[in-house]
Structure 1
Amino acid sequence: MDMPYPPKTPPGLIRVASYNLHKCVGLDRRRDPHRVARVVAGLGADVIAVQEIDKRLPPRPTSLPREVIEREAGLSPAPVADTRVSLGWHGNGLLLAPPWRMVHLHRLPLAGLEPRGALIADLTGPSGPLRVVATHLGLRRRDRQRQMTQIMAALNLRHHGPTVLLGDLNEWAAHEGFAPLDPYFTVHNPGRSFHARRPVAALDRIATGPGLRVRHMGVCRSGEAGRASDHLPIWADLSRDG
């Protein structure tokens, strides 16, 4: 469902979110990391996967300075970058609320027309371990299908545990295009998140693996969230089965 900002996370649940920052360039064509930080803070999430956190050209400096996100949103960027000037890898980043922290990271290059990648991060927090796959898939469906297959192959080499996939999956169809993720993941549609000016497609998705269940989810589209990027942020509150 669409709402200005989600209510406070109910006790015992984990709030995750995904947000394509568009390099912090809003609908007014201004690059404003402070505005993005305020939107991110309003999500109240424990774990946020962000896309396009870094600028496009090498050495790809971050568009969202570390001190801004730490001071204004109270979140820490997970150490996923492989350069000193970036906060992401292939534009993908993870922002963590205390006391969540990353204990292991696998950077997975993804094949396709454009350079893409996925982060497979093992986190630990108040409710125990959580594996997060953060990604931004390609523009062509045949590339996305191959990229999802690569992600599943990488996960199959690891021990199983509660896993959530977050990102801009770039799929315009409401229900099709996710077959490589079956049957491990259930893909959820929180709502239309693109284009922020007039949302027509649910490009941003959340997918849960065994052991996790979505209790609430939504898209934030009011206030600064409606103009800070060309995408709207999505969120979900998760519970653990059992």
Structure 2
Amino acid sequence: MIKVASYNIRKAIGTDRRRMPERILAVLNEIDADIVALQECDRRFGARTAVLPRHLLDEHSDLQPVPLARRPDSMGWHGNALLIRKSASVLAGEALHLPALEPRGAVTADVHLAGRPLRIVGMHLDLSGLWRRRQAHAVLSHLDGAVERLPTILMGDLNEWRPAGGCLADFGRDHRIVPTGPSFHARRPVGRLDRIIVSSDWIVESCGVHASRAARTASDHLPIWASLSLKN
């Protein structure tokens, strides 16, 4: 069984409007996931530097970033990054361009974890419903075009307020939407904007929203998580 999580860290700016990457790291350590998809993990302008310094991860975490960044000081691609256990290995990784009016992207990686290869996708979709669906189609087309089929986990901030329509309907045709719960706003969560989506290879053992005291302050989104096991 593995544990996965998705977390929009809002550039490490908390609900108190202070930028404190140490709080994000503390929340990640509380969750103790094997795989994490991060959104808004780089600053938006200039050199787009990572808001979680690599030395903090190296010294105070069992997680390592999948090397997907296109800029030397960034952690991810358009703010999307994937973290995996230091004991896991990266088999392949790719940054995906998504159709959008403003810069949007997704990241994908094949990793070897828990004795077998897995495929992960991290994404942060558009505020516009039309563009969200176009972006969902782009992600699904990329997965459909892969030479090798692997057990797949898709995670991220989908910005979809509807419970089952829009891009969720697109992802849900061949995948399962994990019922993690509302994660936005962190102080009073009512929106299920953050989602974990899995291929049919997976059994969802448990899932939820991590709503610790630290998480309610570290970002305006709460992290979501799921414990998964592969079908025989």
> Is this a same-fold pair by TM over 0.5?
yes
Please list every run of 5 or more consecutive structure 1 residues that lacks an aligned counterpart in the other structure. 1-12
Pairwise mapping of residues 51-200 of structure 1 onto structure 2 (< 5 A)?
51-158=39-146, 159-177=148-166, 178-200=168-190
Q: For the residues of structure 1 that align with 2:91 and 2:46, how far apart are their CA atoms?
A: 28
Q: What SS is found at the alignment partner of 1:39?
A: helix
How many angstroms does 1:115 deviate by? 1.0
The residue aligned with 1:7 is: none
The answer to whether structure 1 residue 239 and structure 2 residue 229 are counterparts is yes
How many angstroms does 1:80 deviate by? 0.9
The residue aligned with 1:212 is: 202
How many angstroms does 1:156 deviate by? 0.9
TM norm structure 2? 0.96
How many angstroms does 1:223 deviate by? 1.2
Contact 1:62 1:87 in 2 (8 A): yes
How many angstroms does 1:210 deviate by? 2.2
Q: What SS is found at the alignment partner of 2:101?
A: coil
Deviations 1:88-119, CA, capped at 9 Å, x for gaps: 11100111113112110121110112211111
How many angstroms does 1:183 deviate by? 2.4
Paired residues, what number?
230
How many angstroms does 1:74 deviate by? 2.1
Q: Which of 179-188 and 201-210 deviates more?
A: 179-188
For 1:55, the aligned partner's letter is: R
Q: For the residues of structure 1 that align with 2:172 and 2:21, how far apart are their CA atoms?
A: 37
Q: Which of 100-109 and 46-55 deviates more?
A: 100-109
Q: Once the two structures are aligned, what percentage of the paired residues are identical? A: 43
Deviations 1:171-213, CA, capped at 9 Å, x for gaps: 0112222222242211123011001011110100000112112
Q: For the residues of structure 1 that align with 2:171 and 2:185, how far apart are their CA atoms?
A: 25
Over the residues paired in the alignment, what is the CA RMSD in angstroms? 1.0
TM norm structure 1? 0.92
4+ aligned runs moved over 4 Å, structure 1: none
For 1:144, the aligned partner's letter is: R
How many angstroms does 1:224 deviate by? 0.4
Please list every run of 5 or more consecutive structure 2 residues that lacks an aligned counterpart in the other structure. none
Deviations 1:42-63, CA, capped at 9 Å, x for gaps: 1110000000000010210011
How many angstroms does 1:148 deviate by? 0.5
